[in-house]
Structure 1
Amino acid sequence: MLHIAVGVLRRGSEVLISQRLAGKPGAGQWEFPGGKLEPGETVTQALRRELAEELGVEVLDHQPLMRLVHQYPDRTVLLDTWLVNRWKQEPSGREGQATRWCPVEALSTAGLLAADQPLVAALQWPACYAFTPDHWSANDLLSIRQQLATSAVLTRLRLPRLSDTAYRDLVLRLLDSGVQRLAVDRTEIDWAAAAAAERLILHLPGHALESAGSQAPAWAGGCVVSCHDQKTSQQAAQWGAQTLVIGSARRTATHPDRLPAGWSELRRLADGAGLPCYAIGGLTPRDLSVARRAGCFAVAGIRGFWPRSA
């Protein structure tokens, strides 16, 4: 397996991409700069060397974003991807390649290599994913709708106590209040008829894939699947999910008797998923850097993600 260090230079809401040269596989397509590790190199050493050679920049600040394995017809590559927030010198194509700054929201149509496509979701989706506690009511959510409307956090509305009608009405009220980042898990509701599907994300548990059809529905916001093993994560990727939730990293108060998978297992799942992964299990937003070192781009949870005790 080829180990590739990939750098995502970010400047505000834009990232730098470069065009593959003629004569190379994928010529003419765009990619995030980087290259393979040389014998004896660490990932960060390779990252610094490759960005200096390709772009003429000196990396000053970098942090892990995510890891993923991509299978080409003739080889397998591990993309070890890093966010680069500060550097010296203005980046330019030092090897004759074209470069350009691309808005993050335009990456989906930028003509990226297939191997780089999962990174788009990692850059576009929120870094924190908050699940509502089971005991919350509609009023609990409505009481903080203004905070939700201005929050960068993605919110999953579980709320098992609500009927489908009450659940649907709550979602529509939250959307009307300006809340934009909502994930729902009720497939029985006709969201298209409610003119809401284009503004929502669908979240499914892994076991629901068996009855979810041959491919993911065309929700504009995308689909996320909870997975706890490699078989399910591969099924979710083939089904068409954009992101996964994998766990659990640690023992949780919600499931105190369930043994956690641990960080090493999460890293194995994240590497093999081929999709951006949220880590879950006893985590808070403060665990983001730990999760990214384990190959996950983001964190999810319940108790540590709300402004009051859940």
Structure 2
Amino acid sequence: MRIAVPDLISPSYFPAIAAVDLGLARDEGLEVELDLLYPVTEAAEALRAGKIDFLAGAAHAPMHAFPGWRGVRLAAALSQRTYWFLVMRADLGIARGDLGALGRVRIGAAPGPDLGLHRLLAAAGIDTARHGIEVGPVPATEGTGTSFGLAAARALGDGLIDGFWANGMGAELAVREGTGAIVLDARRGDGPAGADAYTFPALAVTEETIEHRPDDVAAMVRAIVRAQDVLRADPGRATEVGERLFPPREASLITELVRRDAPFYDARIDEPTVGALLDFGRDCGILNDPVTYDAVVATRFADLWNQAEGGT
């Protein structure tokens, strides 16, 4: 089976990456290939077309390819809460949380995640047109081999953009290089009320796969829950994964980023979380139909979310 992530070199979808690379899925009897497929909107289309079996990406991504959530379910959360950072050029001197200081700037954001930034700015009362805020693709991020956070940090350093909305790895690189400063961390309470609940990293799978291969889906969920448990107990395990999959600099940083995110590694998907996700979809115009919790979540796997079995 194939599982795709829209950004490999980051902590965003790391429990799924670790589940494959540490052999946890194999221990559950499942042979899985890990693919990088960017952007997440195209990865959702690949899931719909049957080109991949699992998508480890943003929880709202299926709404781009499965109207009204028909034909797809979320089987587990990889982590909790909105997980992107707004990073701006350090020389702009924008204080943490001061969205009102944004003006005449180009902010890079990937298709799919860009909806989160647009919604956040609107909720903060920021009129992007009036403030001259341009949100769009980062140069040189076309193609399936892109790890967006790295590309965004590089583009910021090269002066191609004034800021970006991306994962923790991109934010860390920009801060360490002195080119960027974190203006907003939605997961940890920055920004307008509710911004931390727009979306979250999740494992998506089609209803067809659930129907015809339920044991394999259950095995993947168990592997992810075990990976979350391993990483919470020993974030240092992330380094061995990074050394196999990442460039050296990023491999040296991943353990610290996983350590920061480990408190959010929780596979549960509760009804308030789904309610906020659906509100986000409606606000962004990618969901028009009434949808229930059971139509979004593969509840048959819910009993697996708390069954971590320890390390490997």
Pair in the same fold by TM > 0.5: no
Instruction: Give 1 or 2: higher strand fraction.
Output: 1
TM-score normalised by L of structure 1: 0.25
Instruction: Give 1 or 2: higher helix fraction.
Output: 2
TM-score normalised by L of structure 2: 0.25
Structure label with greater radius of gyration: 1
Bigger relative CO (Cα 8 Å, ≥ 6 apart) = 2
